[in-house]
Amino acid sequence: MRRRTLTLLVVICLGHVMLISAQVQSKSGVPVIEDVAFGTLARVQGLAAGMADAVSSVWHGYFALHGAARDNAALRQRVVELEGELQAERAKSSRTGSLEEALNLQKSLAARTLAARVIAGNPSPGALTVTIDRGSDDGVEANMAVIAGRGVVGRVIGRPAAHAALVQLLIDRSAAAAALLEKSNSAGIVAGGDPGGRLRLELVSPLVKIDLGERVLTTGQDGIFPQGFLIGSVESIDGVGKDREISIRPSVDFTHIEVVLVVLDRRPSGHEQ
């Protein structure tokens, strides 16, 4: 093998090592390079996603219509059910509003959200991120919460491009959220990184009794996720006392995320308040 090739390999590897160590020491990325690359590639990703969607819509719109009538009937029934649930929720909300007024509490306003389409998946198998088609021009900022119909999806990371933003999923190994067990009312931290796509509930008092299937909600204490959004439910509890390991099944099906909602209202954390 030629000496020149080996020299080139050593130079490139040293360059990478220096780049990594600079970021690890400063605890930050390389903003300019990241912004340019992400902004440019987001457009390509948008185009690729558009093409893939076009092919998919041709298939689903023309070739796979045999179950459409059945789906239509099921969907109509679901709409009726949801309308009923909405009525019940509205009634509950008005009662809560009256109580808040009576107790002279600050009104809990519904968060403003922005719908976004997922245009790209995780670029490398290790990182669980998605790219959405909304960015800084739409009011999206770093650390904004991202939710779906069923619960919490993740948060916006990095500086968003004009028309795209990167969302770190809650199941990513470096993601976490402040959480609360609905029945026992005890707080903890929900963290990702489980190989099976589950979440771990940590820092919960070992004295607290936890039931299987108990719902886990956001507390709002982290300053990212608004209070009361569903994270998931307790799936399994292994061990006892301090060694207790609580596994949470996420309410969102992360294998099928197409449309998400970005929560535009960022609230200060309990610590900041």
Partner 1 sequence: MRLTTVLAAVLIAVVLQVTFARYTVGGRWAFDLVLVGVVYVALRWEAVAGMVAGTVGGLLQDMLSGGIIGVGGLAKTLTGFATGVVGTQFVVAKPHARAIIVGGATIFHRLIMLVLQGLIDQKWPGLPWTAMLGETAINSVCGFLAFHLSDALPGAMGRGRMSRRGSLGRRQW
Interface positions with partner 1 (CB under 8 A): 1, 5, 8-9, 12-13, 16-17, 19-20, 23-24, 29-30, 33-34, 37-38, 41, 44-45, 48-49, 52, 118-131, 157-158, 166, 168-169, 171, 195-197, 254-255, 257
Q: Report, in Å, the least distance between residue 58 CB and partner 1.
A: 16
DSSP string, 164-186: -EEEEETTSTT-EEEEEETTT--
Q: Confirm if 231 and 190 have CB atoms less than 8 A apart.
A: yes
Closest CA to 231 of 249, 245, 243, 244: 249
Cβ nearer to partner 1, comparing 186 with 247: 247
Q: Which two tokens stand for residue 122?
A: 């995780």
**Shorter beta-carbon distance to partner 1: residue 124 or 185:** 124
Task: Between 164 and 181, name the residue whose CB sits nearer to partner 1.
Answer: 164
Cβ closest to partner 1, residue 158 vs residue 223 = 158
For residues 41 and 187, which CB has a smaller minimum distance to partner 1 in the complex? Answer: 41
Q: For residue 199, with 0-12 CB atoms within 10 Å meaning exposed, 13-18 middle and 19 or more buried, which class applies? A: buried
| In the complex, minimum distance from the CB of residue 148 to partner 1, in angstroms, rounded to a whole number | 12
Q: How far is the CB of 147 from partner 1 (least distance, A)?
A: 15
Smallest distance, partner 1 to C-beta of residue 252, A: 9
Question: CB of residue 33 vs partner 1: minimum separation in angstroms?
Answer: 7
For partner 1, the closer of residues 97 and 123 by Cβ is 123
Task: Give the H or E element holding residue 188.
Answer: strand 187-191
Q: Minimum distance from CB of 176 to partner 1 (Å)?
A: 15
